[in-house]
Amino acid sequence: MQEGAGFFRFSTDELPERDRLSVWREVFGRTVVKMEMESIGSGPFRSEAQIYAMPNLTVASVSSSPNRIARTRALAADGSDDLVLGILLSGQAVTHQGKREVSFQKSEAVLWSNAAPGGALYNSSIDFLTIAMSRTVLTQVVANIDDVLMQLISRDNEALRLLTSYVRLLQREFSSMSLELQAVTSSHVQDLVALALGATRDATEVAKGRGVRAARLLAVQADILANLTRHDLSIEALASRHGISPRYIRTLFQSEETTFTDFVLGQRLARVHRCLVDPRFAGYMISTIAFEAGFGDLSYFNHAFRRRYRATPSDIRAAGRRPDDAAG
């Protein structure tokens, strides 16, 4: 187990095999998530969870072998009024609360209440993403919140898809976020949750201008980084993959006071710079490094590099070698 400011991690892999089930049930189940938990699989049991506490919401990623969970009446009396949006990333699940039962699978979601008893059955290994928010907060932005409880949210829900990708990208950066940035991203997540559930008209307008824009920009930037070395990387190809217009992508970057072209250039130059100071790339020609970073014109690359770093690529590589030379 690992704890930090706003972060908790649990993994049975770090426990002796004989203790895994008991610690999972007692520590993670009853103490952390306030659930009665039972393994139902015949194979080796495994569970891992990462929980991130942000302003006004808690995000958790859970992967586990087949199991059954229950929030009993006694556990539900802990005073929490949180509403929890559960998004299944893989596997299948059946959840129940009161007289309602919902079956859902990959990329689908269900909203339930922590204030009432309920439970879920996972007959296969699962990967789960949950987002818990105060009922008070959600009722301010979602019309008729009780009508949304224990209703299947389809994988075709665009806001749900955007929310899922945005949160998964955020989880990679959580440990390095300042408190101020956590507060901003928390607002974005709340916006997307509200849209996925059916935000009021006023909340929808706010969300489209804030949460959706932030999520779209992060998704586009992640796509650029994943395809940075491709020489055919273009704003038109990005727009097609994300189902938005090139003009909208330009607007997203303008909101950050930059452009698509400048962002791509900056990331490619940074990639070359990292390689030049990394001893593992000492045997590579600079032109090869530049080409593999996505540059097709070496004259343009050299000019852009000197303008960005006030030095030539050869100067940067030489400077990176001097400490070793001096030590020798």
Q: Tokens in use for 328?
A: 């020798």
Q: Tokens in use for 155?
A: 């994988």
pLDDT of 315 above 80 = yes
pLDDT of 80 above 50 = yes
* Kind and range of the H or E run holding 10: strand 7-11
Count of positions (residues) in the chain:
328
Q: What is the DSSP letter of 232?
A: T
Task: Name which of 301, 304, 280 is nearest 292 in CA terms.
Answer: 301
Three-state SS at 135: helix
As beta bridge partners, residue 130 has 60, 86
With a pLDDT cut of 70, the percent of the chain lying above it is 92
**pLDDT confidence bin for 327, thresholds 50/70/90:** very low
Give the sign of the dihedral formed by CA 70, CA 95, CA 22, CA 130: negative
Integer CA distances (angstroms), 99 to 11, 118, 147, 149, 150, in order:
33, 10, 14, 12, 10
**pLDDT confidence bin for 202, thresholds 50/70/90:** low
Three-state SS at 49: strand
Most confident option among 63-77, 168-182, 214-228: 63-77
For range 205-216, the mean pLDDT: 74
**pLDDT confidence bin for 200, thresholds 50/70/90:** low
Integer CA distances (angstroms), 34 to 1, 231, 243, 251, in order:
17, 51, 40, 44
233-291: per-residue pLDDT in tens?
A: 999 999 998 888 999 999 989 988 899 999 999 999 999 999 999 988 888 999 999 99
Three-state SS at 107: coil
Three-state SS at 158: helix
Separation of alpha carbons 310 and 269, rounded Å? 13
Predicted pLDDT at 326:
42
DSSP characters over 58-96: EEEEEEESSEEEEE-TTGGGG---EEEEEEEEESEEEEE
Q: What is the DSSP letter of 106?
A: T
Torsion angle of the four alpha carbons 130, 132, 135, 140, in this order, in degrees rounded to the nearest 10: -90
Task: Name which of 42, 27, 20, 55 is nearest 125 in CA terms.
Answer: 42
42-79: per-residue pLDDT in tens?
A: 888 999 999 998 888 999 999 999 999 999 999 998 88
Contact predicate 82/135, CB 8 Å: yes
Residue owning tokens 């930059």: 258
- More confident: 192 or 211: 192
Predicted pLDDT at 216:
84
Contact predicate 224/264, CB 8 Å: yes
Q: Tokens in use for 56?
A: 């006004």
Strands in 100-105's sheet, in edge-to-edge order, are 36-39, 67-71, 118-122, 92-97, 100-105
Predicted pLDDT at 206:
65
Q: Tokens in use for 257?
A: 């006071």
2-48: per-residue pLDDT in tens?
A: 554 588 899 999 999 889 999 999 999 999 999 999 999 788 899 99
**pLDDT confidence bin for 182, thresholds 50/70/90:** confident
260-276 helix and 211-226 helix, angle to the nearest 10 degrees: 40
Q: Tokens in use for 268?
A: 């490619």
Separation of alpha carbons 39 and 67, rounded Å? 4
Structure pTM?
A: 0.75
Q: Tokens in use for 229?
A: 């070395």
